[in-house]
Chains A and B, each alone.
Chain A
Amino acid sequence: DIVMTQSPDSLAVSLGERATINCKSSQSVLYSSSNKNYLAWYQQKPGQPPKLLIYWASTRESGVPDRFSGSGSGTDFTLTISSLQAEDVAVYYCQQYYNTPITFGQGTRLEIK
């Protein structure tokens, strides 16, 4: 199984500041034939299901604010929120779909400082 490890486990950022969440996979999730990274990011607010933010490591889902961006390749990935808003308080998960079993990171809790 591909193990996904996120860092940090929790993060407190001031409103308007940048938030950065990291995700590392135990093996590369880059498919050389397509040159695509098989990685997605989700946001989960309390009492709600996860919401897809980004797929192919850097493609923003329709309707997701452009302050959210994804980057990275191979085994190291980053979710960046460029200017934190109050509504961004949530737990964020990365997920690999390079192979089965599909696996998720343990989650990063983002709070307001």
Chain B
Amino acid sequence: QLQLQESGPGLVKPSETLSLTCTVSGGSISSSVYYWGWIRQPPGKGLEWIGSIYYSGTTYYNPSLKSRVTISVDTSKNQFSLKLSPVTAADTSVYYCARHPSYCSSINCYLRWFDPWGQGTLVTVSS
């Protein structure tokens, strides 16, 4: 059974870099039919897609965050990572990683729903 687990610092100072890693177990991150995504949820609020990555390193980002986000993958460790910089208090959220099925044509990839999700990790931005 596939499981995802987020890890990283729970407290980040304003203007610094938020760094999180998602470790995938029970399956390979190098599957050709899945992308791997990051989603965040401010306390008490809704869900925002941050971006997604394929095992080859192809990425899709939310334009609203694209200038501050980098998502990378390490297939040897079965992990993918998120960096967000610089951060402000508005970036305080629970950060989730998740898998999503995808279909890739010769031109483009089409991302689907998210399943399963990690348990999430709360990152607070505060001095």
Alpha-carbon separation in the docked complex, A4 to B24 (Å): 30
List of A residues within 8 angstroms of B46 by Cβ: 93, 104-107
- If A93-B46, A107-B46 touch, whether A102 touches B117 (CB-CB below 8 Å) is no
Cross-chain contact A49 with B62 (CB below 8 angstroms): no
Looking at chain A, what size class is its interface with the partner chain?
20 to 34
* CB pairs A–B below 8 angstroms (5 shown): A50-B114, A101-B49, A103-B49, A104-B47, A106-B46
- If A50-B117, A52-B114, A52-B115 touch, whether A100 touches B47 (CB-CB below 8 Å) is no
Alpha-carbon separation in the docked complex, A60 to B17 (Å): 39
Cβ-defined partner of B111 (8 Å) among A1, A52, A100, A104: A100
**Minimum distance in angstroms from B3 CB to a CB of chain A:** 12
Alpha-carbon separation in the docked complex, A61 to B116 (Å): 11
List of B residues within 8 angstroms of A50 by Cβ: 47, 96, 114, 117
CB 8 Å contact bits of B111-125 with A (1 = contact, 0 = none): 111111111100000
Mark A residues whose CB is within 8 Å of B: 1, 38, 40, 42, 48-52, 55, 61, 93, 95, 97, 100-107
Q: Output the nearest chain A residue to B94 by Cβ-Cβ distance.
A: A49
B48 contacts chain A at the CB level, 8 A cutoff: yes
Cross-chain contact A101 with B63 (CB below 8 angstroms): yes
CB 8 Å contact bits of B36-61 with A (1 = contact, 0 = none): 01000000001111000000000010
Alpha-carbon separation in the docked complex, A112 to B17 (Å): 42
List of A residues within 8 angstroms of B48 by Cβ: 104
**Minimum distance in angstroms from B53 CB to a CB of chain A:** 13
Cβ-defined partner of A97 (8 Å) among B98, B111, B116, B120: B111
Cross-chain contact A52 with B113 (CB below 8 angstroms): yes
**Minimum distance in angstroms from A72 CB to a CB of chain B:** 16
List of A residues within 8 angstroms of B49 by Cβ: 101-104
Alpha-carbon separation in the docked complex, A50 to B47 (Å): 9
